[in-house]
Structures are given as C-alpha cells and as structure tokens.
Amino acid sequence: TNKRGAYVDLWRNASAAIGEEGGDYSNYKYTAEALRIIRAHPPEKKLFLYMAYADVHGPIQAPDNYTALYAGISNKQRRLCLAMISAVDTSIGWIVDELTAQGMYDS
C-alpha cells in the first residue's frame, strides 16, 4: 500500500487502468479516482461508489504525516495501525466533502 517499488495492478471497471503506476500510497490513488468519478458524474443521477481500501491490512505501513500524529505511542505496530486508520478516515472525509459539494451526498 506504500512506496516499495512494487507494481500496483489498477483496474477501472473491466479494463486495466493502463499507464497508471504504483509508487504512491494506494489510499491516495483510490481516493483521487473516487473524487474524479464524483466530479464527472451528473449530480441528478444516482451514483453507487464502492470503496475498498487496503489500509489497515498488511503490510503495516503509513505515510509519515499520519505516523507523526501518533509519535507518543511507543508500540510501532499500534502507531502504524492508528496512522493507517487516520489515512482512511481522512480519505472518506474528502469523499463525503466532495459528494456534499456536488449536491450528491443525500441522494
């Protein structure tokens, strides 16, 4: 889910998302795609958007800005798990904010 030099096998519907590479925290890529979909979708039409983040799941790793939030926790695994949860929470917040801004949150 983080930068490790591994390839991320991204798909958009039934087609491979050709030209899109790994190298970033997967949560960021999934959220960016969700925001792109929301912005491109007509607000008057219903939208089903399923988000299945791989965070809070091995390998246990998180971006530095989230791990820094829990610097006072001495147990590294716990600190990283909390950071991963915070990353997902932030991303869901961005999605809710965008749905609200587009007038789609209550539909």
- Predicted TM-score (pTM) of the model is 0.81
For 78-88, the pLDDT digits (tens) are 999 999 999 99
Other CB atoms within 10 A of residue 22 CB:
17
Q: Is residue 13 in some structural domain?
A: no
For 42-89, the pLDDT digits (tens) are 999 999 999 998 878 778 889 999 999 999 999 999 999 999 999 999
Amino acid at 48: F
- Residue 31 sits in which domain range? 25-101
Q: List the one residue out of 28, 10, 26, 1 whose CA is nearest residue 90.
A: 28
pLDDT of residue 20: 55
Number of separate domains in the chain: 1
pLDDT of residue 58: 79
Q: Is residue 2 in some structural domain?
A: no
Confidence of residue 6 (pLDDT cuts 50, 70, 90): low
